[in-house]
Chains A and B, each alone.
Chain A
């Protein structure tokens, strides 16, 4: 076997040096790095921070530590084999990403109308369960960032119930490959509906407890209210979407705006930020919107379960793979599809040549990527501890930032 690596001092040079020129610093200013390995950056995010004492002058994010060449890989494999890669982009909400991706390819193939209602309801059911799980991580680790330990443990406990349910459907805990183009991997397991309904009953009071424990906690309010205020015009200009945009006061949810899948048939509200504890669009509002969305998602889960156990009842004849196309060959053209992920708008751009079942180009527009780009703007002049609070409130998943 040949030796792969030989030592050379030249190999140890820093590939991503500090961006700020040290000679241009004013008296008293200092540069330091937060991350890439730091628990409060929620992954491998590196923030280069220019500070004057405790005040943050400038933040320069360095990303790409988790770059796995999604777009390059996608150029060399058929549409159905890309789904596992899509899972690994936003690994906190793989079901939602899969749903968005599968929906996009179905749209290109023109088989959107053929998908059975039961399949669509199962997709929405698992996606909403996953949305709750993702928001639990967001709220829980956010509490952890600013010193509240109990909510994290509570939320991880309840998230585990969701992950067990999802594991039961497809065998994997976080990266599912459950939603297929044109259908599903399997039908729901027997009695899933009952167990899921039990879970829904179990979770409702837990969310109420959490609200008293975390959201109205004086320390939490003091740490998050009036911190990292994101005005609406800035949010739109930066392309920020999801709970962060809604916390700035705009009722903009693609589940309602685009009305994809079976969402138009379901009844749910879109919570927006109100500035109840401080200013509109601050960190508290963002967490509050996520919290309220858990309630709304639970509402959707309940409605899906009622549908799935009555009108669209389990049936021996039902085959979730009945409409899975053998050959995925969309006609040539450019497509942009988008869907509401827990973190914002997940978009896919496809270019197909109509001759092969491999996309010519598949670009993912990651919501975390865009949401992170607003960080330097809203963290100018804040304290270092507030910077941690702001990063946490953006709810980044670095797998999607770096793709």
Chain B
């Protein structure tokens, strides 16, 4: 099944939720809206022609204050059909909130915690949204473009 066919299938089932397809990305990507994604992701996982049973990776990207958007990118892989798919969600920077997929793929739990930790994107419905790589009392999210390093951490000068 090609990405175009997947796109048509999703478009027919979910209509306006599916925004656009980008064939230049590797693997080819589909952009969707941010609201109520649960059914769409369940569809991707359980449809008997897609069966995206493995979530390889979730990436968060900050486009900076000029773009004023953030992106969350899911890399899905279907083991039985050997299909790749990149799913993109674009969100406004001020309300960086995305529904969690950790109830669909458990691997998303830690990936989403990592994105929250480094970019400050919140995941709605996540069971345990804490920092994972940085210490709990760290201030700021370092991969945000406008992040300012705190001057001292526990009395130790950071910017030496």
Binding site for B on A (CB under 8 A): 4-8, 10-13, 15-17, 19, 63-64, 67, 69, 71-72, 75, 107-108, 234, 236-240, 250, 252, 257, 333-338, 345, 347, 349, 351, 360-361, 363, 365, 369-370, 373, 377, 402-403
Question: Are B57 and A336 in touch, CB under 8 angstroms?
Answer: yes
What total of chain B residues lie within 8 Å of the partner, measured CB to CB?
A: 43
CB distance from B73 to the nearest CB of A (A): 7
Does B19 make an interface contact (CB < 8 A)?
A: no
Question: Which residues of chain A have C-beta atoms less than 8 A from B12's C-beta?
Answer: none
Please provide the 5 A-B residue pairs with the shortest distance between their CB atoms, ordered closest to farther: A239-B107, A11-B155, A365-B57, A15-B135, A64-B133
A257 in contact with B156 given A336-B56, A363-B59 (CB within 8 Å): no
Bound complex: CA of A237 vs CA of B109, how far in Å?
11
Question: Which residues of chain B have C-beta atoms less than 8 A from A234's C-beta?
Answer: 106
A4 in contact with B156 given A63-B132, A365-B57, A370-B110 (CB within 8 Å): yes
Question: Which residues of chain B have C-beta atoms less than 8 A from A402's C-beta?
Answer: 133
CB distance from A397 to the nearest CB of B (A): 15
Closest to B27 in A: A336
Bound complex: CA of A10 vs CA of B88, how far in Å?
43
Binding site for A on B (CB under 8 A): 22, 24-27, 29, 53-57, 59, 61, 73, 75, 79, 82, 84, 86, 88, 105-107, 109-110, 114, 118, 130-138, 142-143, 154-157, 160
Main secondary structure of the interface of A (DSSP, over half): mixed
Set A237, A373, A403: member contacting B53, Cβ < 8 A: A237
Question: Which residues of chain A have C-beta atoms less than 8 A from B86's C-beta?
Answer: 334, 336
Bound complex: CA of A72 vs CA of B62, how far in Å?
12
Question: Are A15 and B136 in touch, CB under 8 angstroms?
Answer: yes
Bound complex: CA of A373 vs CA of B114, how far in Å?
12
From A11, A238, A360, residue with most partner B Cβ within 10 Å: A238
Closest to B82 in A: A257
Question: Are A239 and B55 in touch, CB under 8 angstroms?
Answer: yes
Question: Which residues of chain A have C-beta atoms less than 8 A from B107's C-beta?
Answer: 237-240, 370, 373
Question: Which residues of chain B have C-beta atoms less than 8 A from A365's C-beta?
Answer: 56-57, 75
Question: Are A71 and B135 in touch, CB under 8 angstroms?
Answer: no
From A15, A335, A338, residue with most partner B Cβ within 10 Å: A15
Closest to B115 in A: A363
A237 in contact with B26 given A15-B135, A71-B143 (CB within 8 Å): no
CB distance from A297 to the nearest CB of B (A): 23
Question: Are B57 and A363 in touch, CB under 8 angstroms?
Answer: yes
Bound complex: CA of A63 vs CA of B82, how far in Å?
32
A5 in contact with B61 given A237-B105, A334-B86 (CB within 8 Å): no
Bound complex: CA of A223 vs CA of B105, how far in Å?
31
From A12, A63, A373, A402, residue with most partner B Cβ within 10 Å: A373
Question: Are A373 and B56 in touch, CB under 8 angstroms?
Answer: no
Question: Which residues of chain B have C-beta atoms less than 8 A from A15's C-beta?
Answer: 135-138, 154
Closest to A337 in B: B26
Further pairs besides A69-B142, A71-B143: 6, Cβ < 8 Å:
A11-B156, A237-B53, A333-B26, A334-B73, A336-B57, A336-B84
Question: Which residues of chain B have C-beta atoms less than 8 A from A19's C-beta?
Answer: 130
A64 in contact with B106 given A236-B53, A363-B59 (CB within 8 Å): no
Bound complex: CA of A257 vs CA of B82, how far in Å?
8
A345 in contact with B79 given A63-B132, A237-B107, A373-B110 (CB within 8 Å): no
A237 in contact with B57 given A72-B142, A349-B73, A403-B133 (CB within 8 Å): no
Question: Are B110 and A369 in touch, CB under 8 angstroms?
Answer: yes
Could you list 23 A-B pairs, sorted by A, with CB under 8 Å? A12-B154, A15-B137, A17-B136, A63-B132, A64-B131, A75-B143, A107-B26, A234-B106, A238-B106, A240-B107, A257-B82, A334-B25, A334-B86, A336-B27, A336-B56, A336-B57, A345-B56, A347-B75, A349-B57, A349-B73, A349-B75, A369-B110, A370-B110
Bound complex: CA of A238 vs CA of B29, how far in Å?
23
Question: Which residues of chain B have C-beta atoms less than 8 A from A13's C-beta?
Answer: 137, 154
Question: Are A373 and B29 in touch, CB under 8 angstroms?
Answer: no
Question: Which residues of chain B have C-beta atoms less than 8 A from A6's C-beta?
Answer: 155
CB distance from B8 to the nearest CB of A (A): 22
A67 in contact with B133 given A8-B155, A336-B26, A370-B107 (CB within 8 Å): yes
Question: Which residues of chain A have C-beta atoms less than 8 A from B106's C-beta?
Answer: 234, 237-239, 373, 377
Bound complex: CA of A373 vs CA of B132, how far in Å?
11
Closest to B145 in A: A75
A361 in contact with B59 given A333-B26, A349-B75 (CB within 8 Å): yes
Bound complex: CA of A112 vs CA of B125, how far in Å?
42
Question: Which residues of chain B have C-beta atoms less than 8 A from A240's C-beta?
Answer: 107
Question: Are A5 and B133 in touch, CB under 8 angstroms?
Answer: no
